[in-house]
Chain A
């Protein structure tokens, strides 16, 4: 044995005298006993298969992950899950790049510089939880628990945070839906109590056969799908729409119409692409409805548009129709034409009368058909509510709602989950507040900043884009028992979201988070960021908590199937680094608050109740599937129609149930995590259609949909036989009890209460439809819209193989030449590996781009790759390279959502291109919050473009 050393250590002697080096214990390594070593040796290299749910994008497909040596070795799609039927797309397959990214969050950190300076130090979990616990305790004492907002952000698995903060005493919890597509969901929620209307193209479906057996059915029935402002080939929230759209076309001759100002990826599969002006969705839908009503002829097979049987299953149509028709007699101030006429619609949308007529006829006459409207549009327009309501009406009166091959409200038919685990019961707790010297009692939920606040009392999805105002000015409660109560917002806890960048305009968010009081303290006293990834919002956080990634925590898929399907998100591997699972974070914080004297957080509700995350998820699963036995074919012919079904598919199938006739519930064995693990991770209950109708009679079953009358409602607030009904009823009652005080949102559009049936108002910043903005048309000739590039959004930006791939005109290989350190290929022999600088040539790597029409670009002297400045009338601007093509309507500019201007390192390549990539959000008007529910008008803006 020889020690060969080139130089003897000169300081070795000095070192050996250090007391610090007397600590000789091992910190990170441990000795294994011979038995342990052998066990580890033999287990190495073996695969274990786990069934889980993806979260690389909101589609949350069913996945199969193969684990070897404690790490994810292979990722496949789970063939047992009908959402994706075994497919794993490039995003799903890139999961390891996120989980094993060197740049993910690893340790709890506390800010040491000013907010935004990016200076943090590592702390222990105990220190971080201490810090948060002390602040929360202090805030609750000084201002009340309602001064804390818990924003559960983007992805799924949020129930633990809801539970914790409901118990703490704040009703102000929210999630990403609030800044996703609220106006789009409005019509379904109001009229059927649902949310998302999607075409019936999820395949396979599990269908009861006439012989009583269950069969996986792959048959497509759709004949027409109209996608308006919806681009499922790129924005894949509803993953089966990718393959289902193509499947229905190829296997069933289904026609596809795409209505989008840009030639989207989905438009490439369309038989008809219509490119209207932005923000005219409601105009076009209104024209379709008027055309169908005016031209329907039940005696002419070529004009038999309406299936009048819908009247049996609905209420209020006559009022709705009358209110709609009342607009026909009015002249639109912008063009002097009759509302919803072909001429009017052509003038406003920029489509030809012939196109509008053709679309209206095609939709009226083709059955089954589905009219689907999207996230970007009308979801992102101030008046998207109107489009969404007319969209529901169009599908219903043509007989397509819940028809085989028609359109399905996925919210109404997906499996129920969450139950008491979510902790909604804590919101019923009685609390007292002192208002103008008087003690008033109410429930925790009556303190909700939106539902009882002065602005948007119908904001059932929360008005997240209004938070910056709340941070600075606080909340005025104007409705309910706490009317007159004012409170500040003192803490904002953001989990898996990036509101600073995307919650409306980033400058508004930064301004609010950085605002200080007269003493120089931040008005928002606590700002916490919880995530697996480092995003822009983390820069402004006081505390960062690293959360276990989607592969490291246990929960359930959050999906929109066409019947009840639920699958496990299994904890495939152990949490990496010091990341913790939501259940552990919940328990740690609850315990800390309890130790600090907060008796609202009890051991029996938290750390003693949930010993593991599996305990929590089992409670979430308890109500599943929780839907009624309705539709044709009846899912369970052996059980009474209209009864709620609870329990595993096999227990319901075998009849291992108890039937409660009083409550109308059939209860089998509860679905559990263990049951799911033993069944390929997934539970599937049978599909049925026309679920609003008795299976053997042409009359409503009064068990579906989920409205005040259990009928489809075309009226939103009415009285009948001394009782009051409708989706707006409770909000109008609030206004009445408050002496008729009109909330801010409604005031903006000149309403004094929530409408009783059909209503209409114009969108903002649209000079083609709203006379208020006509004056800007000359100087700001372009409408600005945005669209998703799902594979390059916050959660996937850091994955090179996704980022490189171009998408439509908004994500193009237009990088500047850049240099990066790259290790050389593995050297031979004993030579150490060297790093080398590698040049990435210009235009080889995709970055966010500004999409514009060829003719427009020519007039401005711009060509693809030129740097341009886009400026709005508020004098806010952004810079980026233009992508010029014929595939976009002249007069429209499109920028990807959150693709450019990514100002925080930690985002991989996106940060490097921040100076020449556009930020759409910088151009959003943060004061345009749609009047019913306070949703940002992301796509309501006009701009001018000039060469930089």
Chain B
């Protein structure tokens, strides 16, 4: 079980990096080193996501990197522009990356739903660094929260502090299924409907898979 959690740790770690900000050269060059296993040589577009949505998404992203291997630096710039267009603006970003946009009646930011997220962070002894400025329920921050809980659970488990590990693990499970699973599919759908960039399509699939694990 702990091995499974360790695998997930990498998954959430990658996802938080992808959704918190534009991909760095370092990350893309690194991801380019991922070897696609022989069983999955077919083009991902012809093969549906199937059950392993996260894996499918990862393959999508890696293939996108491979396609742009010859002009990676230019393409990384394109990714930054696409990240801004999708998630930031200045013109209406099609995939607003905050939970409250999807969950609140007003479709705005910093709603009661955001404060609920803040309370769950607090329950795990955590808070947003830029409290009151950056909405707590940004997708990247929520992913970082899951990443942190996963890491902490493993650590506590290995230190034989099983009760605390179990408590954090429960917070994690609740946060994933009662909160993230409620809005992330809507967010993912918006990304898929509005981007032509395979890297972000892949990221969207991977995110969906990660939330539905």
Contacts from A to B (Cβ < 8 Å):
1-3, 5-21, 23-24, 26-32, 34, 36-37, 40-41, 44, 69-71, 96-97, 100-103, 105-107, 109, 112, 118-122, 534, 538-539, 544, 573-578, 821, 823, 826, 830, 832-835, 904-906, 908, 911
Contact = CB atoms under 8 A, between A and B. Distances in A.
A539 B90 CA distance: 9
B72 interface: no
A31 B98 CA distance: 22
A12 B182 CA distance: 25
Contact of A833 (B22, B103, B118): B103
Interface in B1-42: 1, 4-8, 10-11, 13-14, 16-17, 20-22, 24, 26-27, 30-31, 33-35, 37, 40
B128 interface: yes
A1 B1 contact: yes
B90 A906 contact: yes
B64 interface: no
Contacts of A109: 84, 88-90
B128 A28 contact: yes
A28 B148 contact: no
B1 A2 contact: yes
A435 to B, nearest CB: 41
Given A534-B89, A835-B186, A3 B27 contact: no
Given A11-B59, A14-B35, A105 B11 contact: no
Interface string B104-130: 001111110011001101100111111
B52 to A, nearest CB: 5
Given A15-B58, A29-B144, A835-B186, A120 B109 contact: no
A100 B115 contact: no
B contact face: mostly helix, strand, loop, or mixed: helix
B174 to A, nearest CB: 12
Which size bracket describes the interface of B in this complex?
Answer: 35 or more
Given A41-B122, A577-B134, A832 B14 contact: no
A833 B187 CA distance: 11
B77 A121 contact: yes
B192 interface: no
Contact of A12 (B11, B98, B186): B11
Contacts of A44: 115, 118-119, 122
Interface string B127-168: 111111111001011001100100100000100001001100
A12 B91 CA distance: 36
Contacts of A9: 7-8, 11, 52, 54-55
Given A9-B7, A830-B177, A26 B91 contact: no
Contact of A5 (B16, B33, B213): B213
Contact of B33 (A18, A96, A834, A908): A18
Given A41-B122, A120-B81, A576-B133, A27 B109 contact: no
Q: Which of B5, B85, B186, B190 has the most CB of A within 10 A?
A: B186
13 contacts: A1-B166, A6-B213, A13-B7, A17-B33, A19-B30, A29-B145, A37-B122, A40-B122, A118-B91, A122-B84, A826-B103, A832-B182, A834-B185
Instruction: Specify which of B111, B133, B169 lies most central, judged by the most chain A CB atoms within 10 Å of its CB.
Output: B133
A116 to B, nearest CB: 12
B205 to A, nearest CB: 12
A121 B151 contact: no
Contact of A21 (B10, B127, B128): B10
Interface in B54-90: 54-55, 58-59, 77, 80-81, 83-85, 88-90
A16 B134 CA distance: 30
Given A1-B169, A30-B127, A576-B110, 16 more contacts: A1-B166, A6-B212, A20-B17, A28-B141, A30-B129, A32-B122, A70-B131, A71-B110, A96-B108, A100-B110, A109-B88, A122-B21, A122-B83, A576-B109, A835-B186, A905-B91
A7 B208 CA distance: 13
The 5 A-B residue pairs whose C-beta atoms are closest, nearest first, are A70-B132, A12-B7, A15-B10, A905-B91, A100-B108
Q: Which of B101, B108, B183 has the most chain A CB within a 10 Å cutoff?
A: B108
A84 to B, nearest CB: 24
B132 A573 contact: yes
A29 B152 CA distance: 14
B108 A107 contact: no
Given A21-B10, A573-B132, A833-B103, A103 B111 contact: no
Contacts of A575: 133
B45 interface: no
Contacts of B108: 96-97, 100-102
Contact of B7 (A1, A16, A103): A16
B185 A832 contact: yes
Contacts of A29: 121, 126-129, 141, 144-145, 148
A14 B103 CA distance: 35
A531 to B, nearest CB: 9
B89 A103 contact: yes
A830 B213 CA distance: 15
A554 to B, nearest CB: 16
B51 to A, nearest CB: 5
A904 B6 contact: no
B171 interface: no
B14 A15 contact: yes
A37 B131 CA distance: 13
Contacts of B54: 9, 11
Residue with the greatest number of chain B CB neighbours at <10 A, chosen from A100, A826, A906, A908: A100
Contact of B90 (A5, A6, A120, A835): A120
A770 B17 CA distance: 67
B92 interface: yes
Contacts of B151: 24
Contacts of B177: 830
A255 B144 CA distance: 66
A748 B103 CA distance: 60
Given A6-B51, A29-B145, A102-B101, A18 B89 contact: no
B6 A16 contact: yes
Contacts of A97: 106, 108
B127 A20 contact: no
A499 to B, nearest CB: 17
Contacts of A106: 88-89
Given A1-B1, A5-B4, A11-B55, A121 B22 contact: yes
Given A16-B6, A100-B109, A24 B13 contact: yes
A826 B112 CA distance: 14
Contacts of A34: 125
A217 to B, nearest CB: 41
B96 interface: yes
Contact of A577 (B34, B91, B107, B133): B133
Given A27-B16, A31-B125, A122 B103 contact: no
A574 B190 CA distance: 30
Contacts of A7: 51-52, 55
A11 B58 contact: yes
A546 to B, nearest CB: 9
Contacts of B31: 18, 20
A41 B130 CA distance: 17
A209 B98 CA distance: 57
Contacts of A576: 109-110, 133-135
B111 A100 contact: yes
B11 A15 contact: yes
A30 B92 contact: no
A70 B129 CA distance: 14
